[in-house]
Amino acid sequence: MLNLEIISKKIIEKRKQIGMTQNELADALYVTRQAVSKWEMGKCLPSIDVLIEMTELFDVTIDYMLDGSDLRDNDYATMLMQFPREAVIYRFINSDNLNENIKNIFYLLTTKERKQMINQVLNGHLKLDTQMLWPYLSRAERKYLLGNMKSKDIDKNIENLYDMMSTEERLMMNMDWNHHVLKKTKKEKNK
């Protein structure tokens, strides 16, 4: 159960700590001053979207705002148990350490969420290195990724994955060792 008193105290504390008035906080969050006043008096809660914006503005975690605890930024297992999935995934996607944090969240996602994330990588909307993502993919997800990379002509990333591919995956991509070594040698000569 959420404690309105704790949340209101945290909002007041962090707002004052960064030297903002209620009006300035309201402007920064695109809400009314009356909304900020109600939050600070413990009469209501900000929406999850506004709460996420607030955590970014105050540079704290959602846990800190909700119950005073400060979860580590990459403790996605705990976050997924305590908060809406969309909010946790949004936090991951907007984090500065996507490539480092992928190992902390990808295995916790549903098949549908994983596929959506792969599609975001393929479409260039999510700047996640395919080499960092590769070890966490299932066989089916690897085939899906490779097939899409090949059809979208994203060859440079495929070459980077060669050493991590199974024989079956290399055959699927019509890649052989000689072709890989030849391309690698050409790259080294051009340096």
Q: Is position 44 within any domain?
A: yes
| Final residue in a domain of this structure, among 38, 67, 96 | 67
pLDDT at 160: 80
Q: Is position 161 within any domain?
A: yes
Name which residue leads in pLDDT, 173 or 43. Answer: 43
Q: Is position 82 within any domain?
A: no
**What is the total count of domains within the chain?**
2
Judgement on whether residues 63 and 114 belong to the same structural domain of the protein = no
Note the pTM of the prediction, 2 decimals: 0.55
Q: How many helices, marked H, and strands, marked E, lie in the chain? A: 14, 0
pLDDT tens digit sequence for 129-181: 888 999 999 999 999 998 888 887 766 667 788 888 888 888 877 765 555 55
181: which 2 tokens? 């070594």
The count of other CB atoms within 10 Å of the CB of residue 182 is 11
Q: Is position 11 within any domain?
A: yes
pLDDT at 187: 62
- With b meaning 16 or more CB within 10 Å and e meaning fewer, what string describes 111-144? eeebeebbeebbeeebebebeebbeebeeebbeb
pLDDT at 138: 94
pLDDT tens digit sequence for 80-106: 887 788 888 888 888 888 888 888 899
Domain assignment of residue 135, given as a range: 110-190
Judgement on whether residues 62 and 114 belong to the same structural domain of the protein = no
Judgement on whether residues 61 and 115 belong to the same structural domain of the protein = no
pLDDT at 141: 94
Q: CA-based angle 61:117:109, to the nearest 5?
A: 65
Q: Is position 186 within any domain?
A: yes
pLDDT at 127: 87
DSSP 76-139: HHHHHHHS-HHHHHHHHHTSS-HHHHHHHHGGGS-HHHHHHHHHHHHTTSS---HHHHGGG--H
Q: Is position 94 within any domain?
A: no
Sign of torsion, CA 139 145 146 148? positive
Q: Which amino acid is present at 153?
A: D
Evaluate if residue 15 carries a pLDDT over 80: yes
Mean pLDDT of the chain: 84
Judgement on whether residues 119 and 58 belong to the same structural domain of the protein = no
